[in-house]
Amino acid sequence: MPTTPPPARPAPPGSAISVRDLRKSYGRNEVLRGVTFDVAPSEVLCVLGPSGSGKSTMLKCLNLLETPTAGSVVVGGVTLTDPGVDIDAARTRIGMVFQHFNLFGHLSALDNVTLALRHVKKVSKAEAEEIGHSQLKRLGLGHVARHRPANLSGGQQQRVAIARSLAMRPEVMLFDEATSALDPELVKEVLAVMRELAGSGMTMVVVTHEIGFAREAADRVIFMDEGLIAEDGDARELLDHPPGTRFREFLAQVL
Amino acid sequence: MGRPYAASADGTRVNGETKIGAAVHDFFHTFFDWSEIAGALPSLLGEGLRNTLLIAVLAIIFGLVCGMLLAVLLLSRRRLVRLPARIYVDVFRGLPAIVTVSLIGLGLPAAGIRPFGRSPLGYAVVAVGLISAAYCAEIFRAGIQAVPAGQMQAGRSLGMSYLKTMRLVIVPQGVRNVLPALTGQFIVDVKESSLVYLLGLSVGQRELYFIAQERQAASYNASALVAAGLCYLVITIPLTYFVNWLDRRMREGRPARAGAEEPLPEPALAEG
Ligand SMILES: Nc1ncnc2c1ncn2[C@@H]1O[C@H](COP(=O)(O)OP(=O)(O)OP(=O)(O)O)[C@@H](O)[C@H]1O
Ligand SMILES: [Mg+2]
């Protein structure tokens, strides 16, 4: 059982993400109680933990979809928790993939991918569609570019959502249980995309219950419990020789 | 006193068919007198329909635009932004339309505020539009709130601002949610355009109800009112079907659905 947060050590130079003593409360409920970690460029970090341990809240603090109560978040050298920061500009460099895809329901797959390109990056329509098509093709979705999300399978929808994020050329990708809402037979196609992305050198923070994915694709694993990081270490080592009892219990449950 | 129906029932029995025949004739003569209707039609269709549509269409547009702005204010996280919008909506939904139309159409000119000169039509558009805006605001607010929170999160995570996400993602889907509910409001606007009669209309400005009511007063025959009623139905009933059609089209999107059933291709990335 963790009792104290790790002491705030200085961030290693050149970290892609650097989180210091991150805290988040909803009213009196302190959901994050001092979370500190770093992610190196091209590192793939898997975040494990029981339901309610604060994984989603932590991930949303990394692009400030949730405003931390205290602590600092630095992504790509920009301190997001600084008051004057241009958060919209910072978010274009941080892709996020959601459990329920959150595709824009009124737009085709292609328009989902090009919307932010056109309206945030101010790319011309023709150029945005070129980027969109190549991004969709890359994820095996070339033939569904004109389809609405409602007419796509869950796996296709999640891949469109990944394409939508990648089209912005982010430096970092955040995944919040990207496969939890999918039928088992569709999980594979999304994990394949994520594995490939990990191999391509993308910096990734992946909240997941897929221990297999963590073992194969992750460099590092952190285990969250009750708003704190209980374990933090090399993925294989940690998963093959789980140190704490809570972590062992957790692994026994999800495996 | 006491048995008002008994007498006529007895009378009917005594006098038989002639009395019934006379009553039926009177009834049809009062409501469906062909020469009355034919006499009213030229000005109803020429002048009346045009002015009714003019007031209604402009009021609907006014209501939609102001209603959407109000809805965005109603959804603000800041109380000071929400509050004025809230008060506006409560006031204009709470007043009888006839009071609002009088206040604006009779009150404003009396106070020396005459943006539309002496034409009552402009005041009617504003009054009906202001009322419509209050109702539209509540309809839009409900529709926007029904859009899942994940849509806003997705928009923001891509770097779009709150207002940009509202405009490009939330509002378009919110509006789709409430198209059928808006139809009801459009119909109300068409009907409330008739309240302009309160402001007094000269020839050329008259709308359906005013024309019909003038003729009724002159001839003591309601047939022109029936004709005007039919004109309202000719506007409101097709309107309902038009919006339903629009609703279906938006829901289904463009007809490209064939590929939905195609087998899933292997993700290209997996091969790399
Ligand atoms: N917007 C919110 N308001 C209040 N409480 C919240 C809010 N979001 C999350 N919480 C609470 O914070 C705690 C952590 O939630 P969080 O979603 O981060 O957990 P999680 O680890 O992602 O769990 P899961 O595996 O079920 O997704 C929970 O107790 C939850 O009830
Ligand atoms: Mg979660």
Based on the number of CB atoms within 10 Å of its own CB, is A128 exposed (0-12), middle (13-18) or buried (19 or more)?
buried
State phi, psi for B204 to the nearest 5 degrees.
105, -30
CA B233 to chain centre: 12
- Residue whose pair of structure tokens reads 């998963």 in the numeric block: A239
Q: Residue A192: its chain B contacts at CB < 8 A?
A: 267, 269-270
Binding site membership of A57 for ligand 1 (Cβ less than 6 Å): yes
Find the distance separating the first CA and the last CA of chain A, reported in whole Å. 21
With an 8 Å Cβ cutoff, are B259 and A151 in contact?
yes
CA-CA distances (angstroms) from residue A30 to A58, A67, A230? 12, 13, 16
Per-residue pLDDT tens over the stretch A206-218: 999 999 999 999 9
Binding site membership of A51 for ligand 1 (Cβ less than 6 Å): yes
CA distance A4 to chain B (A): 32
Are B267 and A159 in contact by the 8 Å Cβ rule? The answer is yes
Q: Residue A117: closest CA among chain B residues belongs to which residue?
A: B158
Give, for all 272 residues of chain B, the pLDDT tens digit.
444 444 444 445 556 678 888 998 888 899 999 999 999 999 999 999 999 999 999 999 999 999 999 999 999 989 999 999 999 999 999 999 999 999 999 999 999 898 888 889 999 999 999 999 999 999 999 999 999 999 999 999 999 999 999 999 999 999 988 998 999 999 999 999 999 999 998 888 999 999 999 999 999 999 999 999 999 999 999 999 998 888 888 777 644 444 443 434 444 443 33
pTM: 0.83
Which residue's CA is the nearest one to ligand 1's atom 16? A54
pLDDT averaged over every residue in chain A: 93
Helix, strand, coil in percent for chain B, rounding step 5: 80, 0, 20
Binding site membership of A53 for ligand 1 (Cβ less than 6 Å): yes
Query: Best mutation site among A119, A134, A186, A195 for testing chain B: the one with the most B CBs within 10 Å?
Result: A119
Closest ligand 1 atom to A177 CA: 27
Q: What percent of chain A is predicted at pLDDT more than 90?
A: 92
CA nearest neighbour of A140 among A184, A97, A192: A192
Per-residue pLDDT tens over the stretch A89-103: 999 999 999 999 999
User: Nearest ligand to the C-alpha of residue A98?
Assistant: 2
Binding site membership of A55 for ligand 1 (Cβ less than 6 Å): yes
Query: What's the CA gap between B238 and B231, in Å, rounded?
Result: 11
CA distance B97 to chain A (A): 36
Binding site membership of A208 for ligand 1 (Cβ less than 6 Å): no
Q: Looking at residue B74, what is its pLDDT?
A: 96
Which residue's CA is the nearest one to ligand 1's atom 8? A57
User: Nearest ligand to the C-alpha of residue A60?
Assistant: 1
Find the distance separating the first CA and the last CA of chain B, reported in whole Å. 97
Give, for all 255 residues of chain A, the pLDDT tens digit.
455 555 556 667 789 999 999 999 999 999 999 999 999 999 999 999 999 999 999 999 999 999 999 999 999 999 999 999 999 999 999 999 999 999 999 999 999 999 999 999 999 999 999 999 999 999 999 999 999 999 999 999 999 999 999 999 999 999 999 999 999 889 999 999 999 999 999 999 999 999 999 999 999 999 999 999 999 999 999 999 999 899 999 999 887
Per-residue pLDDT tens over the stretch A192-201: 999 999 999 9
Q: Looking at residue B270, what is its pLDDT?
A: 38
Query: What's the CA gap between B105 and B116, in Å, rounded?
Result: 10
Neighbours of A167 (CB within 10 A): 24
Which mutation among A35, A56, A67 tests ligand 1's pocket best, with the greatest number of atoms within 8 A of CB?
A56
Q: Residue B155: closest CA among chain A residues belongs to which residue?
A: A116
